Structure 1
Amino acid sequence: MRGHDWINSMLPDELILEIFRDLDSKSSRDACSLVCRRWLTLERLSRDTIRIGASGSPDALVNLLARRFVNVTNVYIDERLSISLPVDFGRRRSASQSALSWLRLRIVSERSESGANELDSYCLSDAGLAAVADGFTKLEKLSLIWCSNATSAGLRSVAEKCRSLKSLDLQGCYVGDQGLGAIGECCKQLEVLNLRFCEGLTDAGLVELALGCGKTLKSLGVAACAKISDLSLEAVGSYCRSLETLSLDSEFIHNKGVLAVAKGCPNLRNLNLQCINVTDEALSAVGILCASLESLALYSFQRFSDKSLCAIGKGCKKLRSLMLSDCYFLSDKGLEAVAAGCSELARLEVNGCHNIGTYGLESIGRSCMRLTELALLYCQKVGDEALSEVGKGCKYLQALHLVDCSVIGDDAICSIATGCKSLKKLHIRRCYEVGSKGIIAVGDKCKYLTDLSIRFCDRVGDEALVTIGNGCPLLRHLNVSGCHQIGDAGITAIARGCPQLTYLDVSVLQNLRDIALAEVGEGCPLLKDIVLSHCRQITDIGLAHLVRRCKLLESCHMVYCPGVTAAGVATVISSCINMKKVLIEKSKVSERTRRRAGSIISYLCVDL
């Protein structure tokens, strides 16, 4: 019956709450909350996550949110994230309404922070943490990112009132041992703890936490904490028997600490180490004692050798992910040992390990048939034969990343395309031996490709993109920045054959003209991000054709395009109501455009 509210009269609160919880975007939930007062109340009850960036009065804002959203279990506060005023495009809130809302927030700020230092009023304080503790009593996950004014007193408030806390991230917070000790004393369900850049902590705080939360703690991250040493890790090894993930970045951790964890934490599954004073002794113990290890990442190690990887290969049969970065003393022998012993390996990244070459990667191709992702960065000794073996043996490979691999060429890419037909992501940067032949093979044989990036590959031309356009209809992400042989024909083929494209980077393409941009506008209505910088033949006409149908655009980079004027910039901004970022020279933004959309405009060079 017209005019009758069937939903509110028939559906109980519980069912509407479940519907709100199933909505997958904040904007959808916000829209539903505007239907009526009942829906507004129920939507607030359904919220379980709050994200807060930098604001004029974070303490007052936390108080306000705590009163409105009483069932929140996850609070994420990141003072690196800025919050700007709403932008008025004529179809949004009026400028007067936006200004009024901002003025009200400023009044609340001034009242709540009277007498306080002006800079401090922009940082979450212990009073704000007390409001978190009082308002979100069901809290399970708390992230305080670079909240520099939070101290142990505020953390103690959270510990005493949020005893269901399971995850705590204190990255960049200058909290002390007393606060961390309070968490260990009160939060007996804590499972995840991140202490990156917590310079105020010492061994005393972490030892006390390990004593209190040892039975439940599963994940620990420590980085740039100069006063945390092996003593803390010995406590972790003694009391945290359930630890599964450990991430360490420290100059003050030695073999003794890592050995204690290896001996005391039999369930360790993920280990990330950037510790210059750890040697073969500790890593060999990990290989011997940590049979459950599934993921290992080693960064900038200069005091260990193939002996460690041999122990890993021999003892860690469940290893699925291996990341080696700037480990100068590793060679093919170590990688061969991993290949022989870790047949479950699914992800491998080798970055700047200059003694690893073709033979080591050939071993991976022959033995690790479940490999799904391979990344080779700055591997000057890896040749085509390595990827030929990967193509033959790793049928399930879905992602391949190549950066500055000067010996790898078309034959390698053809082998991958022939053998790895499930390939979804191919990223190649500055591999100058890769040309159109290899990319044509990918277009012919990899029908599930969704992400293609071939940056600064000078030998790739239009014929390659024509094949991609004809053969890869699922493509969503394309980056051909700096591929000088690509022009209108290649981009037109992509526009006509890849209607699901959402990201396009064609920067530094000197031969690209407006006609290609018009084709993109016609064929890719889902496009959200486009990079046109340094395209000298693109003009306002091409931009107008682009935005006529690409109404979902959220970002547009167009610096150093001499054919683009202030009129073109205004056209882009006025046509795309979802636009969040426009990168352009300051001289090409009119005063009217600046007033209308100043918050979304970024300038590459300002008054140089």
Structure 2
Amino acid sequence: MQQQYFNHPLSRTPPSESDLTPFQSLPLDPIEPDCTSLLSDKLLLKILSKLPVSQHVSNSLSVPQSHRFRPRSCLYSDAEKLWHISDPQDDVDTNYTLDGFLGKTTFLPSNEVDQGLTSIAEKYPNLQRLVATGASEQGLIRIAAECCTLQELELHYCGDLALKGLSGIKNLQVVKLIGFIDGFYNSVISDIGLTQLARGCKRLVKLELCGCEGSYDGIKAIGQCCQMLEELSFYDHRMDGGWLAGLSFCENLKTLMLKSCKSIDESPGVDELLGSCLTLEELQLERCQIRDKQSVKALFLVCENVRAIAFQNCWGLDNDVFSLASICRRVKLLSLEGCSLLTIKGLESVVLSWKGLQQLRVVSCNNIKDSEITPELATLFSVLKELKWRPDSRSLLSSNLAGTGMGNRGGRFFKRSRD
């Protein structure tokens, strides 16, 4: 069992049962050697400041490629003629500044950004990955015309109209759109932009929408046009009620991720009209508000065929909300981390209903107690292919197993994680 079940997002080969391996963490991009990892941001900026102005663009292109900065964007400061590095993700510190240059005045006007993109298009026709902030349609049109091999694109602070320029990038497979980040910047990406993206980039395999608006219509357009789409992620989404039903049009979707979302779907509509993603394998929720039972139920109905579910530090995941997961009857892997409201009773009610469950990971769920493990749950533990059980720092499951006979069937697969 060498292959991790939560595999690389671009993998198109569904795992067989023999490939199933333990949960370790939510999936991360493969880590590449990073030659800049030992250097501070200030030192990197000093190094760049010693270069001639003519080399600032070419040298800054390599910086976002490193794992340390990925997926960061480059911001240009007229004051020092430098490309500054910022990280406009959900963890961004809005009070952070580099010598006072981070803020609205840091962004170049879109026409100047477009000039830079034009230069990049002319000098780097074999470009495969691009991160741009504040680009408009004209700049992206030049990239599309010259950079025929571009496969990955990350756009910050770009509105609906800019996305029309993506129609000429025929080989684009990975797109990340960042529209709104509270306290940092705000640009509107709505159904108009999502439809433009869907019609122009039909070979998309992976799509991340951060702080984007939209509704059923935009998600439906993506599903209908981007038939190769396998991974779809939402970060702090601002979707209108009813958007979940649009997911059923994503006929080859394998992974659905929701991160830092204040709600799932405020008005999902009638259960019978939701549809479902028949090919979905993985559902991951991280730091999401999931107190609304109606929207959580709708999510599980859409994802009823999922094989792996992961909850990480989600607010509102109590026994009643978690019980709705029993809708998904084909689950083989379950990961729970930081689910402080969940108890043994709530866990047992669901996992015992999953006859095909093979792997279980329970970490930092402080209301789940070793002393409350029932004989039925112990029996399930004994036949799992992999178990990582660390609900709290006082967990003594291994000593509690002594004399119970637990682990005799399939015992060679039973491991208590010590990390």
CA RMSD across the alignment: 4.4
Q: Give the one of 479, 492, 503 matched to 2:400.
A: 492
- CA deviations 1:389-408 (Å, max 9, x no partner) are 367x41x5123326224465
Q: CA deviation at 1:300?
A: 1.4
Distance change >3 Å, CA 493–CA 335, structure 1 → 2: same
Q: CA deviation at 1:152?
A: 4.3
Q: What secondary structure is seen at the aligned counterpart in 2 of 1:278?
A: coil
- CA deviations 1:81-106 (Å, max 9, x no partner) are 79xxxxxxxxxxxxxxxxxxxxxxxx
Q: What secondary structure is seen at the aligned counterpart in 1 of 2:253?
A: coil
- CA deviations 1:96-133 (Å, max 9, x no partner) are xxxxxxxxxxxxxxxxxxxxxxx99xx5xxxxxxxxxx
Residue 169 (str. 1) matches residue 62 (str. 2)? yes
Structure-to-structure mapping, 1:319-358, within 5 angstroms:
319-331=229-241, 333-339=242-248, 341-351=249-259, 352-354=261-263, 356=265
Distance change >3 Å, CA 471–CA 414, structure 1 → 2: farther
Q: CA deviation at 1:452?
A: 0.7
Residue 278 (str. 1) matches residue 188 (str. 2)? yes
Structure-to-structure mapping, 1:19-418, within 5 angstroms:
76-80=34-38, 123=43, 146=44, 148-150=46-48, 152-153=51-52, 169-171=62-64, 196-199=73-76, 200-201=82-83, 203=113, 204-214=115-125, 216-222=126-132, 231-249=138-156, 251=157, 253-261=158-166, 263-275=167-179, 276-280=186-190, 281-301=192-212, 303-331=213-241, 333-339=242-248, 341-351=249-259, 352-354=261-263, 356=265, 359=268, 366-376=275-285, 377-383=288-294, 385-386=297-298, 389=301, 393-394=304-305, 397-401=307-311, 403-406=314-317, 408-409=320-321, 411-416=323-328
- CA deviations 1:302-332 (Å, max 9, x no partner) are x54443223223322222211122223432x
- The percentage of counterpart residues that share the same residue type is 17
Q: What secondary structure is seen at the aligned counterpart in 2 of 1:149?
A: helix
User: Aligned partners of 1:503 and 1:148: how far apart in 2?
Assistant: 48
User: Aligned partners of 1:441 and 1:235: how far apart in 2?
Assistant: 53
Structure 1: gaps spanning 5 or more residues: 1-50, 52-73, 83-118, 124-145, 161-166, 174-192, 505-526, 530-608
User: Aligned partners of 1:415 and 1:355: how far apart in 2?
Assistant: 17
Q: CA deviation at 1:219?
A: 2.0
> Residue 364 of structure 2 aligns with which residue?
455
- Give the aligned residue type for 1:389: L
The count of residues paired between Structure 1 and Structure 2 equals 329
Distance change >3 Å, CA 433–CA 448, structure 1 → 2: closer
Q: CA deviation at 1:154?
A: 11
Q: CA deviation at 1:365?
A: 8.3
User: Aligned partners of 2:210 and 2:51: how far apart in 1?
Assistant: 32
Distance change >3 Å, CA 197–CA 274, structure 1 → 2: same
Kindly indicate whether the alpha-carbon contact (under 8 Å) linking 2:293 and 2:321 is maintained by their aligned counterparts in 1: no
Q: CA deviation at 1:234?
A: 3.4
Larger Rg: 1
User: Aligned partners of 1:441 and 1:471: how far apart in 2?
Assistant: 17
Distance change >3 Å, CA 256–CA 413, structure 1 → 2: closer
Q: CA deviation at 1:356?
A: 0.5
Q: What secondary structure is seen at the aligned counterpart in 2 of 1:78?
A: coil
User: TM-score when scaled to structure 1?
Assistant: 0.45
User: Aligned partners of 2:272 and 2:176: how far apart in 1?
Assistant: 24
Distance change >3 Å, CA 479–CA 78, structure 1 → 2: farther
Kindly indicate whether the alpha-carbon contact (under 8 Å) linking 1:210 and 1:236 is maintained by their aligned counterparts in 2: yes
Kindly indicate whether the alpha-carbon contact (under 8 Å) linking 2:257 and 2:284 is maintained by their aligned counterparts in 1: yes
Structure 2: gaps spanning 5 or more residues: 1-30, 77-81, 84-111, 180-185
Q: CA deviation at 1:374?
A: 0.7
Q: Which has the higher helix share?
A: 1
> Residue 570 of structure 1 aligns with which residue?
none
Kindly indicate whether the alpha-carbon contact (under 8 Å) linking 1:356 and 1:382 is maintained by their aligned counterparts in 2: no
Q: CA deviation at 1:353?
A: 4.7
User: TM-score when scaled to structure 2?
Assistant: 0.63
